[in-house]
């Protein structure tokens, strides 16, 4: 089942990479920021999935709204002459790391529990 | 399709859609960054290369022109010196004027002075490295000292110093006659050797100051010093001689 979304990711990349013109350079930063926001949504979704509380409505709304907000915030910062771009990158970066860290901890603890259950079962 | 619509697989379609969007954005961004990097580097270097080749062509043309003009000048001189009287006097005057203007190579007894940046480093003493490198004002002071001692022709790193020659600092480099030069600096001067040497070595003079800070200084008298001509003679756009009317 995971193969379909993954194939879509690769397909989207390839189509746009070879067909689309380049983004005007003054918007390239916003696109980059939107991508980071998208990655953040993915990291969050992965964690939620592991915690068995994944909800596609939250995921999809989070994906698009965060992307838009991240780009808008950076744009606003540029208009005001404050480097809000950095604030967004730092905030999203921390969130991504947090979510990845939680996911890892969860995966490890799941494995440890599974092993404990396996070793405990025969002795009883 | 029916499988995808099953309740427990509901997430696949929206997830696929999101993946498509993210993939597309990654694609456009990677594409843009690559183009941006390419064009920036490409544009800059090609512009610089273009400028360089244009300048080189210009320099070549100008040097050719100089050669032709000098050849013609020598011809005129020859013709002039073959004639008698006033014209011969004029040709002698022209000879002196050409030395002064620096358009001919000159030879004669003189000195060679070589100085380079200090062997000391900033960490050896308090103060920045600026103290231990040779500056435009050091060179200016030396040139001035040489002229004061009656030098008849002076060159610095092969650049003839004439009226209107400049020794200037531009962005941590030194330019002589608009040509960039660097350490070690070599002065050549034609003139009275003893006078030149004693002028440079004057107590608390420029060389004394440099020696204290361990700048390598090599001052040698020479029986024959050859000083090259100036590469581009100055043009006189504004200055005009004043014609004095002869009154009676």
To the nearest whole Å, the CA of A5 is away from the closest chain B CA by 4
| Higher pLDDT, residue B132 or B248 | B132
Whether residues A11 and B29 touch (CB distance < 8 A) is answered with no
Smallest CA–CA separation between B9 and chain A, in Å?
Answer: 8
**Residue for token digits 């953040």?**
A40
Check CB contact under 8 Å for B19 and A9.
Answer: yes
**Are residues B23 and A8, on separate chains, in Cβ contact within 8 Å?**
yes
Least Cα distance to B153 among B99, B103, B201, B115 occurs for: B99
The CATH number of B106-227, from 3.30.70.1880, 3.30.1340.10, 3.40.50.2300, 3.30.70.2470, is 3.30.70.1880
Closest residue to A17, CB basis, from B19, B20, B30: B30
Contact B27 A15 (CB under 8 A): yes
Over the stretch B41-74, which tens digit does the pLDDT of each residue have?
555 677 777 788 888 888 888 888 888 888 888 8
Residues near A123 by beta carbon (within 8 Å), at least 6 away in sequence: none
> Which residue from B12, B20, B29 is facing A1, i.e. has the nearest CB?
B12
What's the pLDDT tens digit per position in B174-199?
A: 888 888 888 889 999 999 999 999 99
List, as one string, the DSSP characters of B81-133. Answer: HHS-THHHHHHHHHHHHHHHHT-S-EEEEEEEEEE---S--GGGSSS-GGGGS
Residue B3 pLDDT > 60? no
Task: List chain B domain ranges.
Answer: 11-101, 106-227
Q: 3-state SS string over B37-53? A: HHHHHHHHHHHHHHHHH
Q: What pTM value is reported for the model?
A: 0.46
B12 with A63: Cβ contact below 8 A: no
pLDDT for A2 equals: 75
């Amino acid at each position: 089942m995971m193969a379909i979304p993954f194939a879509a990711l690769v397909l989207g990349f390839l189509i746009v990479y070879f067909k689309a013109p380049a983004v005007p350079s003054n918007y390239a930063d916003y696109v980059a920021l939107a991508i980071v926001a998208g990655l953040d949504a993915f990291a969050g979704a992965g964690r939620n999935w592991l915690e068995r509380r994944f909800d596609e409505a939250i995921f999809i709304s989070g994906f698009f709204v965060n992307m838009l907000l991240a780009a808008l915030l950076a744009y606003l910062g540029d208009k005001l002459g404050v480097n809000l771009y950095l604030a967004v990158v730092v905030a999203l970066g921390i969130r991504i790391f947090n979510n990845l860290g939680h996911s890892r901890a969860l995966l490890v603890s799941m494995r440890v529990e599974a092993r404990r259950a396996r070793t405990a079962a025969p002795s009883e | 399709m029916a499988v995808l619509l099953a309740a427990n697989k509901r997430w696949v379609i929206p997830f696929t859609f999101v993946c498509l969007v993210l993939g597309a954005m990654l694609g456009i961004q990677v594409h843009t960054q690559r183009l941006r990097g390419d064009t920036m580097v490409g544009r800059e270097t090609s512009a610089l290369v273009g400028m360089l080749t244009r300048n080189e062509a210009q320099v070549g043309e100008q040097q050719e022109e100089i050669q032709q003009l000098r050849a013609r000048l020598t011809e005129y001189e020859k013709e002039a010196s073959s004639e008698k009287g006033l014209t011969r006097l004029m040709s002698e005057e022209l000879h002196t004027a050409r030395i002064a203007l620096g358009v001919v190579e000159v030879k004669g007894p003189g000195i060679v002075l070589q100085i380079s940046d200090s062997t000391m480093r900033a960490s050896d003493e308090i103060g920045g490295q600026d103290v231990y490198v040779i500056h435009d004002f050091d060179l200016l002071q030396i040139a001035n000292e040489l002229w004061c001692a009656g030098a008849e022709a002076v060159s610095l790193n092969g650049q003839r110093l004439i009226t209107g020659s400049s020794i200037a600092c531009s962005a941590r480099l030194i330019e002589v006659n608009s040509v960039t030069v660097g350490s070690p600096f070599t002065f050549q001067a034609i003139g009275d050797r003893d006078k030149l040497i004693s002028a440079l070595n004057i107590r608390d003079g420029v060389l004394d100051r440099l020696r204290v800070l361990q700048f390598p200084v090599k001052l040698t008298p020479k029986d024959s010093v050859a000083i090259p001509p100036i590469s581009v003679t100055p043009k006189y756009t504004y200055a005009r001689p004043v014609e004095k009317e002869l009154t009676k």
